[in-house]
Structure 1
Amino acid sequence: ARRLSNLASSGQTATALALLSSLWRERLPAAILLHSSNVLASGFEKTGQWQAVLQVLGCQASRQTAGAGGGAADVVSYGTAIHACGRGRCWELALGLLLGMHRSSIQRNTAALNAGIAAGTAAKGQWRAALQLVCAAAEMGLACDSVTATVALRACRGFGERSWKLALCLLTSLATTSVQLDTIAWNAALGVCERRQWPAALAVQSGMVMRGLTLSGVTFTVAMSACSHGGQWQQAQRLLFSLGSFGLEGNSANWNAAIAARAKDTQWSASLCMIG
């Protein structure tokens, strides 16, 4: 398995596939063949070789169809292939694989769903389809998790002027479910509001505080950036000076956001004082 991974990472696609084929011909135990196939596919995925990942999956599917058994694809195999297609901006292929899992009698899981949603957010113009997958999760018998929420919230960016409203509606809806939204998910919603609606961004940050979530440096940077875009330098300064009460120290990103907010409001002298 290690040799297969090394061949994949070094770009020796043909050699790696030939080695895998030789392993299949040796009639090794099914578990070893499956592990070897998934390791190779993972190696291809990490190096952006989505076509090679599909080749491995195709060979696994062929063995399953032929009744060969060993090496047949499982949920990990499909998850890797879906993720690889997402990285390759092949949204249609990723969605086809996700739907095809059911036809192959392979139980879909949340990780596969998340990979499919991520593929939609990576593909230009497929934001709406990615969110539709989130809505269809219940019909697939899948439970959303914080990763699902994060990817879905980021997908809201594709809706232009309406993006922040959609993000807030989705965030509110998810907050009433059993999904445990973490700081990263809330930061994703904050990021959608950043350039379009500074009051909404501050409302998201306040919601994090009310729920006892840990605010990160990213939380404050994005919130201050939102204030900067809205010309609210006083709010940005307030956020900067409140870092200590949350156990955080101001970093360069925080200070740059605060300085930018003042500069945009023509508070040049104040900005220079902050630098000094």
Structure 2
Amino acid sequence: MALGGGRDCGNLPGVGLLEKLVALGPAASQQQVSQILSTELEHWRKNAKKATVILSGLARHRLPSLARLVLSVMLHSGIESNVFHYSAVITSCEKLGKWELALSLLNKMPQTGVLPDRINYNAVISTCEKGGQWQLALSILNSMPDLRAMPNEISYSAAISACEKSGQWQWALSLLSNMPVIADEINYSAAISACEKAGQWLLALNLLSNMPAVRLMQDAISFSAVISACERVGQWRLAVSLLLRKMPEMKVFPDKISFSAAISACEQGGQWQAVLGLLSKMPEVRTAPNSVSYSAAMSACEKGGKWQLAVHMLCSMHETGLAPNEMNYNAVIIASGKSFSWQLALGLLRDMSQTCFTPDEVSYSAAAASCELAGVWHLTVSLWSSMQAATTISLKLSAVPQVRASESAVWSSTHV
């Protein structure tokens, strides 16, 4: 009989210890965990590595709460914990951004006679980064030297990324310039991304340019971030120059992300010819366009009044085995609508409905506007009514309370 919300797996024959624990799920109680571990604890007392294996397994299954319960049972049973045990549990928190639990474990380590090491601190900083806690990440980073755990480039990379994701580009640059250790490519890329997200394209370009001077290799990630920064401020010529001239000059091979960023920059600048040129160059460097590339290209054609080219691109996606997404369909519906091709707009709307995509407000609005321009008023009214009905259903579905935590969703998706 089950003890609480999980399954009673303590006596299942032929099932390993890790599988029994995983079967309990994230809602397991400490009593259930104790029951399963009752015959194993003495083995763990003699060989601490066995506990590390189980805790690491729970981390791989993204079950931090369950891993914490296992650690708690160990401590209550008088089994000495070590830095590897805590590292495994904190790592499981990191994967899901459970920063509160990770910080609690870090603070508890000295109370159990375990001194946190740099790996523990780095994992907690990374957890804070994933949880959007940039100030806490900086606080932990600054406290490390006082606790005899000197930060390294990994520590700073996690802290810079935390600032980047929270839009704190000034702090990201400050950390990079004041690092007591030699910065690496990951540190620079994180700082460049922080500038990119804040629209600071000149600072991003300056960081990229400085990398060779400090003997760091520029790569596709750092270039892509600067190209994206150019896109945000309409610097499409510079974006294309970085992609087609500077990257080959530095022997950096452009990837899909680099091309998509440059194509988006051209699209923002209304340069549909440049977009087509970039699309045609992608196969030359053995890089196939993806849905993002096509979506930007279709939007550029729409802005340039080249609706036939947008339709051709949508057909090309089907021919190359690349499934169009909602953004691709919407871009072509908008393009065809502006050209008075209301029949085509309706056909695309119907195609969307027959696939796994549900037309949204953009889809219906564009198709309705096309019919309105063509004077087909009865279809215009019908489309507006369909859009209102679809919007109402969407709102009702979004109002359904999400009673499961992310950990429960991850567990249930892999243990049905």
Q: Which bin holds the TM-score, normalised by the shorter protein?
A: 0.7 to 0.9
Rounded Cα–Cα distance in structure 1 between residues aligned with 2:90 and 2:301: 50
Report 1:123-202 matches (<5 A).
123=166, 125-137=167-179, 140=180, 142-160=181-199, 163-196=200-233, 197-202=235-240
State the shift of 1:126 in Å. 2.1
Stretches of structure 2 lacking an aligned partner (at least 5 in a row): 1-51, 316-416
Deviations 1:32-88 (A, max 9, x none): x1111100111122232211111211122445xxxx4xx311110000111111222
Report the TM-score when normalising by structure 1: 0.85
Name the structure 2 match of 1:212.
251
Report the TM-score when normalising by structure 2: 0.58
Rounded Cα–Cα distance in structure 2 between residues aligned with 1:174 and 1:14: 42
Contact 1:94 1:116 (C-alpha < 8 Å) held by counterparts: yes
State the shift of 1:17 in Å. 4.5
1:55 corresponds, among 76, 83, 104, to 104
2:72 equivalent to 1:39: no
Which SS does the other structure have where 1:12 is aligned? helix
Contact 1:4 1:36 (C-alpha < 8 Å) held by counterparts: yes
State the shift of 1:158 in Å. 4.5
State the shift of 1:92 in Å. 1.8
Report 1:235-274 matches (<5 A).
235-274=274-313
Which SS does the other structure have where 2:217 is aligned? coil
2:148 equivalent to 1:105: yes
Deviations 1:137-181 (A, max 9, x none): 1xx1x1222211221111013434xx1112111211223221222
Which SS does the other structure have where 1:42 is aligned? helix
**Shift in CA distance, 143/22, structure 1 to aligned 2, threshold 3 Å:** farther
Aligned partner of 1:199: which letter?
R
Deviations 1:222-245 (A, max 9, x none): 111110000111111111111222
Rounded Cα–Cα distance in structure 2 between residues aligned with 1:85 and 1:253: 30
State the shift of 1:117 in Å. 0.7
State the shift of 1:10 in Å. 5.8
2:139 corresponds, among 77, 84, 96, to 96
Which SS does the other structure have where 2:198 is aligned? helix
Rounded Cα–Cα distance in structure 1 between residues aligned with 2:250 and 2:150: 34
**Shift in CA distance, 158/225, structure 1 to aligned 2, threshold 3 Å:** closer
Contact 1:224 1:257 (C-alpha < 8 Å) held by counterparts: yes
Aligned partner of 1:145: which letter?
D
Which SS does the other structure have where 1:11 is aligned? helix
Rounded Cα–Cα distance in structure 1 between residues aligned with 2:98 and 2:312: 51
**Shift in CA distance, 122/249, structure 1 to aligned 2, threshold 3 Å:** closer
Contact 2:125 2:140 (C-alpha < 8 Å) held by counterparts: yes
Rounded Cα–Cα distance in structure 2 between residues aligned with 1:234 and 1:201: 15
Rounded Cα–Cα distance in structure 2 between residues aligned with 1:47 and 1:244: 37
Residues 202-211 or 13-22, more deviating: 13-22
Name the structure 2 match of 1:4.
55
Name the structure 2 match of 1:21.
75
Aligned partner of 1:134: which letter?
L
Rounded Cα–Cα distance in structure 2 between residues aligned with 1:10 and 1:198: 45
Aligned partner of 1:76: which letter?
I
Contact 1:220 1:239 (C-alpha < 8 Å) held by counterparts: yes
Which SS does the other structure have where 1:257 is aligned? helix
State the shift of 1:128 in Å. 1.2
Size of the aligned set, in residue pairs, is 259
Contact 2:196 2:226 (C-alpha < 8 Å) held by counterparts: no
Rounded Cα–Cα distance in structure 1 between residues aligned with 2:80 and 2:308: 76
State the shift of 1:250 in Å. 3.2
Which SS does the other structure have where 1:242 is aligned? helix
State the shift of 1:252 in Å. 3.4
Residues 219-228 or 192-201, more deviating: 192-201
Name the structure 1 match of 2:397.
none
Stretches of structure 1 lacking an aligned partner (at least 5 in a row): none
State the shift of 1:106 in Å. 1.3
2:130 equivalent to 1:77: no
Larger Rg: 2
Aligned partner of 1:4: which letter?
L
